[in-house]
Structure 1
């Protein structure tokens, strides 16, 4: 139950962080938002890692650094896909891969969830798709799901899903150090990507404040994610964490007054059912 609670805390945090970062990205290029949020998270994780302590070993550094690479490229490819293709297609496909990759790897590594948990995983994957659906599916959009967008969608989903797999390999006795090494490598890569794409400029005003908030919330989410993955099966914890779109949609309803489709509402109900089944299983 504790692992499930931590996974849900992580999902809730990721959902809020995505919402805040998304609002900031409406005003400035998303990469410039990440240029603030990632280093902020890096500094906070560094402080927490020193306070908590833990063993700084080769595996902790390696798995953390490699995880950071998947995070950086995942963000880059994801926003590139959203910029060129329809959000109503890109978002659900990416979210499903984020959940499916660690589930597949966990089962391949010998994890065997109970039947109730297996059913819960299936329902959760369906819930991720339904909740992530765009509310305006019938709108005519100039953005098309081209082969390039399809490739970007798939590789970003694989990168984000691989993030769970890689950080799960980090030794538990290292505590928060792998998260710090992940953010260090991710931040360095983001700076390089921003420099190469001529986006090496920090936002100002409200976008800067939102980016700072996203960095703080992302830090909390990452800590909860690591603790959840260490306390549960990879195939179970990752699915619960991948329910983060529910929080994003909920905030859009309350703050932006966006309407929610019938299918998104069904997805939220299914998400609650999946949480209960996975927690029990």
Structure 2
């Protein structure tokens, strides 16, 4: 297995675990709290990268792509966590895996070579990812038609956000990995701070309105206390998210964007397998077949890379 393949697969593994934790924690803790805490930790983790490669204020392309990627990342992560929180991982994950379409189309349009073996591997990996992530076909799997529709909408938005973010990181990293990631991280953190402030304002305003109407209203922002393991989980999301982004950035420097994007898009397999193992979500036969296709596709891509 080449270093390129390993880095891209590591990005998938890190992101898959991070997404699982984000979806689980967002079911218990308000989404904005999970997003903000994890992003603060990710920013701290990113600071270690500056020791290896300092920030370059003159890298205009890296800064521009960092801004674009930061906005796309904020949309992708927040929509994904929300979709996983109100839906099931077997429905949301396969839709978000289609994010690979964005960088693959961009990479091929930019002249990335596609051999017949690579083409077969790409096709098998994408199809296998969708099947392994498993469209949940059982009736009543989601709680209510509204949640079903919203989770799909969030998944589609997340797929577009992640696809654009991957393209931005890949293009910005050509001029500077650290500069691209730092700007990306700061933009995401800034957007989350704005979102958190709005969320606090809405919560407090709602509580004040209920009190004014003579109703019982709790001043607490959190419906349940945050446990020690919740803090650990949110910190892990931040570290894993940064590790995934760094792995993808480094892999994109030495490989075709279309290949790296497909390998890095296998994260839904990890998310769904964790949901099956730890949350008791059933793994259907079609999902088992999908897992086998993913491994076959990855092996084919690795052989042709």
Same-fold status (TM-score > 0.5): yes
Q: Quick check: 229-238 or 241-250, which moved more?
A: 241-250
Q: 1:143 to 1:228 in 2, by over 3 A?
A: farther
> What are the Cα deviations for residues 190-247 of structure 1, in whole angstroms up to 9, with x where unaligned?
1112222337879553221110111112222111111111111111101111101222
TM-score, normalised to structure 2, is: 0.82
Q: Quick check: 178-187 or 131-140, which moved more?
A: 131-140
Aligned pairs for 1:39-58 within 5 A? 39-53=40-54, 55-56=56-57, 57-58=59-60
In structure 1, the partner of 2:206 is none
Q: 1:230 to 1:137 in 2, by over 3 A?
A: farther
> What are the Cα deviations for residues 127-174 of structure 1, in whole angstroms up to 9, with x where unaligned?
121122256734353433777665543332111111111111114352
Aligned pairs for 1:22-33 within 5 A? 22-33=23-34
Q: Which 5+ residue runs of structure 2 have no aligned equivalent?
A: 204-220
- How far is 1:180 from its partner? 1.6
Q: Quick check: 70-79 or 81-90, which moved more?
A: 81-90
Q: 1:14 to 1:87 in 2, by over 3 A?
A: closer
- How far is 1:89 from its partner? 3.7
Q: Which 5+ residue runs of structure 1 have no aligned equivalent?
A: none
Q: 1:212 to 1:84 in 2, by over 3 A?
A: closer
Q: 1:29 to 1:133 in 2, by over 3 A?
A: farther
- 1:16 and 2:39 aligned: no
- How far is 1:88 from its partner? 4.3
- How far is 1:182 from its partner? 0.5
Aligned pairs for 1:1-281 within 5 A? 1-53=2-54, 55-56=56-57, 57-82=59-84, 88-96=90-98, 98-133=99-134, 137-144=138-145, 151-198=153-200, 203-281=226-304
How big is the alpha-carbon RMSD for the aligned residues of Structure 1 and Structure 2? 2.5
TM-score, normalised to structure 1, is: 0.88
Contact 1:74 1:156 in 2 (8 A): yes
Alignment partner of 2:47: what SS?
helix
